[in-house]
Structure 1
Amino acid sequence: MKRFEGQIVMVTGASRGIGMATAERFAAEGAHVILLANNADELKRTAGQFENQGYPVLPLCVDISDPNQVEDAIEQAVSILGRIDVLVNNAGIAWEEPFLDITDAHWQQMINVNLNGMFYVAQRVSRQMVKQMSGCILNMGSTNGLAGEENYAHYNASKGGVVLLTKTMALELGRYNIRVNAVCPGYIQTPLTESIDDAEFVGSYIRNKIPLGKVGKVEDVAGVFAFLASEDAAFITGESIVVDGGQLA
């Protein structure tokens, strides 16, 4: 039997990169996946790819930084599928920018998506899971939420907030049989990074920062999300699991 047969799994930021790989991993293991993303064209394309593979999906176009859109999407998902067993709270943004140059607008945008948006989705899904008296929530953190990096003050701050949000959720939701953990990737190659990082940069990064001598792939992160949602992780909550090839070590 597949690990997530009959389960309903919601993945935000599901139309590309780590989110898409994670949604595909859960679908391949038997889950009915709810795909949330804010780009309608990408979402339609991804949903079509999943359906062509025979995976049942429910695509919903949502801007997670808008609490009203989040509320409506979760109500719609529950009305159609009846429950949400796992939330992979993955959606986020990032860009490089010196601390002294960060504008108020850029600061607000980063916090609104990476921290506020994660809170809106997690809280609304948690309310449904409390009714079920069961669930698993997995927030997307980052090694940048555990150790600083130059030129990413707004991103670092948002991900640091996610780590402490995760711990507090775990403390408050455990009584409802809801587990909450964060996954904190390091440098992961995605279609976006491959388009902007040249071979020289990647080679230098690997040599100087990653003991395993390679960069991570989206499948590496998807596998950790799947493990944490499985019964093999039934006694793990409140943790931030680092996936970085040894970089922080």
Structure 2
Amino acid sequence: MRGLTGKAVLISGGSSGIGEAAAARFVAEGARVFLCGVDAEQVAEVVARLGAAGGTACDVSLPGDVEALVEAAEAALGGIDVLINNAGVAWREPFLEITAEHWDRLMAVNLRGMFLVAQAVSRRMVARGTGGAIVNMASTNGLKGEADYAHYNASKGGVLQLTRTMAVELGRHGIRVNAVCPGYISTPLNAQIAASLGEDFVAAYARDQIPLGRTGLAEEVAAVYAFLASDEASFVHGAELVVDGGQLAVM
């Protein structure tokens, strides 16, 4: 992609799944990458294996952790040009059984954490005055409802509204803001959820719900992250790009 070589990229939730694939893609594009995850050992392993500039453990729902993360990233990278705001959690839970504690925890990571990281990075981008690109992790669940994911659906709908509002306010500072909306992607998190639904669940879901007939790959979402962060997407702003194999086209 044009314009990624030498860019300073911070990736939250970058030590597994889509985030790890994104880190690998940006390193391959010649960017300098700093990443975070909740497990310090896992972060260190991914940083070493990919040759990233650095990484740290971080709970994105905690303001103190987020400030420490962004400061560490700036120190390692000399500033931040691109934020891949990727950290998130998910689990199945019927609407009638969701506890206030579970609701609050999911929102704390998926929406509060998205806001905290984006705000901390945006403030520094504005202060530098050189613009930048931010890509938030949303989901097809932010565009349509899915049973047993009321809290997750609501959090991702919130991410889309956050993205649009950030785009309205930050565009004048030369900061492009967009969101990615993956459908069913093969990740460790989704594998863990699918394991509770039976060994045939993934194959049946792909056959019945995804016109391309398969689940997506983390690397395919990483490619969209790279596109939206690159100069190829220089006039793409305030958008949500769906990566779902046609899933939302099914009636």
Same fold per superposition (TM over 0.5): yes
Secondary structure in 1 aligned to 2:30?
coil
Segment of structure 1 superposing worse, 36-45 or 116-125 = 36-45
Q: Could you say which residue in structure 2 is the equivalent of 1:231?
A: 231
Alignment of 1:17-96 (within 5 A): 17-50=17-50, 55-96=51-92
Q: Percent identity?
A: 55
2:163 and 2:187 map into 1 onto residues whose CA distance is 25
| Deviation sequence 1:64-115 (CA, Å, 0-9, x none) | 0001110122122223322100000000000000001001110000000000
1:195 and 1:119 map into 2 onto residues whose CA distance is 27
Q: Could you say which residue in structure 2 is the equivalent of 1:188?
A: 185
Secondary structure in 2 aligned to 1:84?
coil
Superposition RMSD in Å: 1.4
Q: How many residues align?
A: 245
TM-score normalised by L of structure 2 = 0.94
Contact preservation (8 Å) 1:129, 1:135: yes
Q: Give the residue type in structure 2 aligned to 1:194.
A: A
Contact preservation (8 Å) 1:187, 1:215: yes
Secondary structure in 1 aligned to 2:123?
helix
1:137 aligns with 2:134: yes
1:173 aligns with 2:176: no
1:171 and 1:2 map into 2 onto residues whose CA distance is 25
1:244 and 1:186 map into 2 onto residues whose CA distance is 4
1:217 and 1:23 map into 2 onto residues whose CA distance is 14
> By how many angstroms is 1:200 displaced?
1.2
Equivalent in 113, 121, 127 of residue 123 of structure 2: 127
Change (3 A) 1:195 1:71: closer
> By how many angstroms is 1:192 displaced?
3.3
Contact preservation (8 Å) 2:206, 2:215: yes
1:56 and 1:213 map into 2 onto residues whose CA distance is 34
| Deviation sequence 1:5-45 (CA, Å, 0-9, x none) | 21100001011100000011000110110111111121111
Q: Could you say which residue in structure 1 is the equivalent of 2:204?
A: 204
2:76 and 2:183 map into 1 onto residues whose CA distance is 36
Contact preservation (8 Å) 1:3, 1:29: no
Secondary structure in 2 aligned to 1:248?
helix
1:176 and 1:108 map into 2 onto residues whose CA distance is 32
1:169 and 1:178 map into 2 onto residues whose CA distance is 9
Secondary structure in 1 aligned to 2:64?
helix
Contact preservation (8 Å) 1:60, 1:73: yes
1:222 aligns with 2:216: no
Q: Could you say which residue in structure 1 is the equivalent of 2:10?
A: 10
Contact preservation (8 Å) 2:2, 2:232: no
Q: Could you say which residue in structure 2 is the equivalent of 1:155?
A: 152
2:193 and 2:242 map into 1 onto residues whose CA distance is 24
> By how many angstroms is 1:191 displaced?
2.7
Equivalent in 88, 93, 98 of residue 97 of structure 1: 93
> By how many angstroms is 1:196 displaced?
4.8
2:247 and 2:77 map into 1 onto residues whose CA distance is 40
Segment of structure 1 superposing worse, 115-124 or 130-139 = 130-139
